[in-house]
Amino acid sequence: MAKKHTGRQPAGWLYLPLRWLSRLVCRLLFGLRVTGGEQIPGKGPLLVLSAHQGMVDFLLLIAALRRRRIRFVATERQFRDPKLHWFYVRLGLIPKVQFHTDARAVMGVFRTLRDGGTVGIFPAGQTSMCGVPAGIAPAIAHLVKRAEVNVCTVSLNGGFFTYPRFAPWFNRGRTEARLELTFTPAMLKTLSEKEIFEILRRRLDYDDYRWQEQTGARFHSRGRARGCDKILFRCPDCGGEGTIRAEKHRIFCAACGSAGTVGEDMHLVSRRAGSSFFSTLRDWYAWQEHELARAMEEPDFRLSLAVRCQRFDAVRFAYVDAGTGTLELDRERIGYRGALSGEQAEHFLRHETLPGCAAGPGKYLELYHPDAGLIRYVPQDPAEGWRVTQIKAAQELIHRQLAPEGEKKEE
């Protein structure tokens, strides 16, 4: 695991040129329009909370907050890339174990704020899978309440269409960022954590498809559909699993032949009469979750995937194979059963303790086990990569079903 760097501020000689470059790129390629923010102070501690749509969100924030040098909280997985490790350390990124409480990351946040710095957090903890948010954890309200500093929220639109997590490259188009000074220290003293959470949930909500329909924004690239097959694991026409394919602007089912084209408005137009293909990834993904919810009603519900286990070797600065076995999920838990570092092992996590799964759609899924550390699970058969998204979707769906009860206990 990468060394934690919790006390380093962004280097000015690197951040200032990056901000200038971000403004240029975001304006020319992503059509960034920034509104609001007049009341945000130019100095003093500031907590920046933003919606998290796509892979260029951090560039959008750097470009939008021109008077601030933002120190972002990022998944510590970013630090495992040998080509970017040096860069991220000097940008002052605060590494955090994704979807788990990380005391050292929290320490880095409060240390930066205490020194009068600016911290950027994406409360969702992951980019969008389908153009709408995955939700935020109530714990962010506790952090905000404790911080007692000015809090800026950033509403984003267009970030999902510009560079979704599953796409191999970005689309040229339009993005918007609206800045708002949502809380002051005086306001935070009068609000409960529940009230803070509800305000944040409203401020950070978005729907890129609804926004596109309202604005008429257009997006251009050589392959607007590329990568969609990594999150679309079920065909709405024939019900086949793992049969969806994507190439350039086209999405089709290899089993039944249904097909559609993703237009410049990022909506899918079916090319087959009577097809049940959805016009948006948002609706298609929601339907997949609905089908999973129906399957979960069966007492013997279970998903499994033959995987290779990998651990990060800090000396080699690379992932190395550590065994093979089965990744399993049922209505109560998710985990691994098989060989690990030369021994037979079983490591499972209960859904109520895990708000989400770190994953590279179609490629791998990562789980942090308190007794075994961080393990990456890679499908033994690359053709089964679609199951990564299926398992991730099922786990997060089950957690959401359990979340209301857990939130009541926290209160």
Task: Look up residue 263 and give its two tokens.
Answer: 């237009």
Among 194, 199, 204, 73, residue whose Cα is nearest residue 135? 204
**Can you tell me the mean pLDDT for 59-63?**
98
Residue 178 is predicted with a pLDDT of 98
The pLDDT tens digits of the residues spanning 310-343 come to 999 988 889 999 999 999 999 999 999 999 999 9
298 pLDDT above the threshold of 70: yes
What's the CA gap between 263 and 270, in Å, rounded? 11
Task: Look up residue 136 and give its two tokens.
Answer: 């935020």
Q: Which CATH class, in words, describes the domain spanning 303-410?
A: mainly beta
Task: Look up residue 387 and give its two tokens.
Answer: 């199951």
The pLDDT tens digits of the residues spanning 268-278 come to 999 888 899 99
Residue 135 is predicted with a pLDDT of 85
Q: Map 18-34 to HEC letters.
A: HHHHHHHHHHHCCCEEE
Task: Look up residue 31 and give its two tokens.
Answer: 């059509």
7 pLDDT above the threshold of 70: no
- Write the DSSP string, 200-264: HHHHT---HHHHHHHH----B-S-TTTTGGGT--B-TTT--BS-EEEETTEEEETTT--EEEE-T
What's the CA gap between 206 and 221, in Å, rounded? 23
Q: Which of the four pLDDT bands, split at 50, 70 and 90, describes residue 360?
A: very high
408 pLDDT above the threshold of 90: no
The pLDDT tens digits of the residues spanning 157-197 come to 999 999 999 999 999 999 999 999 999 999 999 999 999 99
Residue 372 is predicted with a pLDDT of 93
The pLDDT tens digits of the residues spanning 121-151 come to 999 999 999 999 988 988 999 999 999 999 9
Question: φ, ψ for residue 338 (rounded to 5)?
Answer: 155, -160
Question: φ, ψ for residue 358 (rounded to 5)?
Answer: -70, 135
233 pLDDT above the threshold of 90: yes
The pLDDT tens digits of the residues spanning 11-52 come to 999 999 999 999 999 999 999 999 999 999 999 999 999 999
Among 324, 293, 260, 273, residue whose Cα is nearest residue 402? 293
Residue 404 is predicted with a pLDDT of 57
Paired strand residues for 304 = 328
Residue 405 is predicted with a pLDDT of 42
Residue 8 is predicted with a pLDDT of 74
Among 144, 148, 241, 239, residue whose Cα is nearest residue 200? 144
| Global confidence as pTM | 0.94
**Can you tell me the mean pLDDT for 83-104?**
92
Among 154, 140, 151, residue whose Cα is nearest residue 194? 140
Average pLDDT taken over every residue of the chain: 94
Task: Look up residue 268 and give its two tokens.
Answer: 């899918």
93 pLDDT above the threshold of 90: yes
Residue 101 is predicted with a pLDDT of 86
Per-domain residue ranges for the chain?
A: 12-215, 228-296, 303-410
What's the CA gap between 373 and 358, in Å, rounded? 14
407 pLDDT above the threshold of 90: no
406 pLDDT above the threshold of 90: no
**Can you tell me the mean pLDDT for 199-205?**
97
Residue 411 is predicted with a pLDDT of 32
